[in-house]
Amino acid sequence: MENITYITSNYGKYIATKEKFERAGINIEYFKFEFEEPNINDLELISKEKAKQAYLKVGKPVFVEDSGFYIDNYPNNPGYPGAFVKRSGISSNVKELLETLKDVKERSCYFKDCLTYYDGKEFYQFNGIKKGTISGEIRGHENKKAKSNLWYVFIPLNCTKTMAEMTDEERKNRPDGRTDATIEFIKWYKERYSKDDK
């Protein structure tokens, strides 16, 4: 298998992603890079543009991951912030988010992940969904594996704890019916190279 490089500015995301690849017997390289994100609320297009930037930076096969966060009943703006989760400031100021939602009873939400792999010729994209609800308060302890501060308020479907309250084992085995863009990519990547090796 060729080496692939994971490009992100978020070290917590790298640690969590690296573990998934290691369990599949694949080593990945890490490169820290601050992207210029296009100002559009379209997760797939943003991810593709960032993969193109990443490939131009390192000159070899790369993958990037992007997440959107969608709050079904966000006041006066259902589905907000979507792909604007980082730029909206919601992930860095969860106290303000909880204040905004204080009168919202139905607090369902979901993360949508998009992983884009680019080998310099073709783009390949994989998606995942994680459904849940937003807690009424910040819960959990500081965790280096946290992909964002939303871990402290996001309760996965069919669970009672926030992501930050869960142990590694509880997060891994949570019964939320999630799909995972990284796992889907790993399956595809292993299958692709097992065919190439024959």
Identify whether the C-beta of residue 69 lies closer than 8 Å to the C-beta of residue 133: no
pLDDT at site 197: 55
The one catalytic residue among 42, 66, 168, 197: 66
132-187 pLDDT, tens digit per residue, is 999 999 999 887 777 789 999 999 999 999 999 999 899 989 999 999 999 999 99
Q: Is the pLDDT of residue 198 over 70?
A: no
For the chain, the structural domain boundaries read 4-196
| 109 DSSP assignment | E
Place of tokens 């703006």: 77
Place of tokens 């490169």: 31
Percent pLDDT > 90 in the chain is 69
Q: Which fold has domain 4-196?
A: Maf protein (3.90.950)
pLDDT at site 82: 95
Mean pLDDT, range 101-116, rounded to an integer: 96
Catalytic (active site) residue 66: yes
- Burial track 96-124 (b if 16+ CB lie within 10 A, e otherwise): ebbeebeeeeebebbbbbbbbbbeeeeee
Token pair recorded at residue 51: 């993969």
Q: pTM here?
A: 0.82
94-103 pLDDT, tens digit per residue, is 999 999 999 9
Helix (H) or strand (E) holding 88: none
